[in-house]
Chain A
Amino acid sequence: MDESRRSFLKGIGVAAAAAGLGCTFPLLRALASSGTPAAGVQTRQLCMVIDIEKCLNEDLIKDCTEACRIEHNLPGGESDPERQIRWMWTQKFEHTFPDQAHSLTPKELRGEQVPVMCNHCTNPACVKVCPTKATWKRESDGVVMMDMHRCIGCRYCVVGCPYGARSFNWHEPRPHIKNIRPEYPTRMRGVVEKCTFCAERLREGREPACVEAANRITEGAMTFGELSDPNSKVSALLKTTRTISRQNALGTGPNVYYIV
């Protein structure tokens, strides 16, 4: 009797030890595979280089934003900037690069309107917070995509994005679109939208609408291309010119660069 109780207790001990070890295994595996991916791990990454000086041209900016507006059926006529739908817009130099402007930055430079858009970050904060994977980083080209079919309008991404690149549709957008271009869908009330580097044009091998419009006015105002290809135009530009990107300290790894 004693013997059997003894062996029974031993058996329980062994089983508990085995179960304990078993539990730690997935934990160990998770620990081994965790950690944020370092920049450059992405196999392909599209990026944009914007020449701030060449973009100091009202006509150019107007053409760019208008090309984007028409291309993607963006609604207009909203005066409240917090309710505007914008994929690409301009803002003052010191607001775009708060850590670059200082008290002695020339007045002219501070007032400069810099074109801004989604940075298609290497480490996008918006993607991390999206509960439905409606926004995700596309592995084939590094574009931070939006799937309007999946967006539930929770606006976590709007809060997560440190660049203000995302807009929420507070109203039904259709009544505010002048001429709807049937080739591209509109959005509906309750979804978030943003620049997708013109994914629909990339698919056809064309450059984004803003790049095309900008370069029509000033060649080289915006350069678009493959960051991971060392022979691409953007790679050459980034190697040979002084460029900055927005709020580097945040660790998002923005992929829109600016020539100052």
Chain B
Amino acid sequence: MSKGIIIAGLIVFLIVATFPVWYTSAAGGSRPQPEPPARDAKVFEGKEYRCVEDKVYMTGNHMQLLDNWRNLVVREGERFYTSEAGEQYEMSLTKTCLKCHPERDRFCNKCHDYANVYPTCWNCHVELNGNEPKGN
């Protein structure tokens, strides 16, 4: 008698507890897809550029990397960053990152909107193709 109620209760509980997971996938809320840079966008002055670190590292740690760059550039007056692969990059949001990812709406904001984070970079830093005030 009470066994049936308990099992039914458990099922209801499981459904409610896992609701966010299956609802999101059912509603088509898949992971955000930031636009990768176009192939030709990666070649400047005859040199091909790769991202400073690999994609997995950048996805998880770009905020720490940028924070670190900021401190090294502004506070220590340093200029270059040596990647894990041993390549040198100028530590600059505008001169390095934005070369391949020029539009925040097509790249940064895709994940930031999804994750509901609003970094204040663009209050001061300027996109290469203009300066129209946008969402964040």
Please indicate the chain B residues that have their CB under 8 angstroms from the CB of A143 in the complex.
77
Residue-wise interface mask of B (77-92) relative to A, using a CB-CB cutoff of 8 A (1 in contact, 0 not) = 1110000000000000
Q: Are B131 and A182 in touch, CB under 8 angstroms? A: yes
Q: In the docked arrangement, what's the CA distance between A183 and B97, Å?
A: 12
Is B70 interfacial (CB-CB < 8 Å)?
A: yes
Q: In the docked arrangement, what's the CA distance between A136 and B74, Å?
A: 11
Q: Are B74 and A147 in touch, CB under 8 angstroms? A: yes
Q: Are B127 and A182 in touch, CB under 8 angstroms? A: yes
Interface hits, B55-80 → A, CB 8 Å? 70, 73-79
Please indicate the chain A residues that have their CB under 8 angstroms from the CB of B79 in the complex.
203-204
Is A216 interfacial (CB-CB < 8 Å)?
A: no
Please indicate the chain B residues that have their CB under 8 angstroms from the CB of A17 in the complex.
none
Q: In the docked arrangement, what's the CA distance between A253 and B74, Å?
A: 23
Q: Which of A149, A174, A181, A183 contacts B74 (CB 8 A)?
A: A149
Q: Are B70 and A203 in touch, CB under 8 angstroms? A: no
Please indicate the chain B residues that have their CB under 8 angstroms from the CB of A174 in the complex.
131, 133
Interface hits, A150-193 → B, CB 8 Å? 174, 180-188
For the side of the interface on B, what is the size category? 10 to 19
Is B124 interfacial (CB-CB < 8 Å)?
A: yes
Of A141, A185, A186, A202, most buried by chain B (CB within 10 Å of CB) is: A185
Is B136 interfacial (CB-CB < 8 Å)?
A: no
Residue of A with least CB distance to B67: A149
Please indicate the chain B residues that have their CB under 8 angstroms from the CB of A148 in the complex.
124
Please indicate the chain B residues that have their CB under 8 angstroms from the CB of A147 in the complex.
74-75
Provide a sorted-by-A list of 22 A–B residue pairs whose CB atoms are within 8 angstroms: A140-B76, A141-B77, A143-B77, A145-B74, A148-B124, A149-B74, A174-B133, A180-B126, A181-B126, A182-B127, A183-B94, A183-B95, A184-B126, A185-B124, A185-B125, A185-B126, A186-B126, A187-B124, A188-B124, A202-B77, A203-B73, A203-B77
A interface residues with partner B (beta carbon < 8 Å): 73, 136, 138, 140-141, 143, 145, 147-149, 174, 180-188, 199, 202-204
List 6 A-B pairs, minimum CB-CB distance, nearest first.
Answer: A185-B124, A182-B126, A188-B123, A185-B125, A180-B131, A182-B128
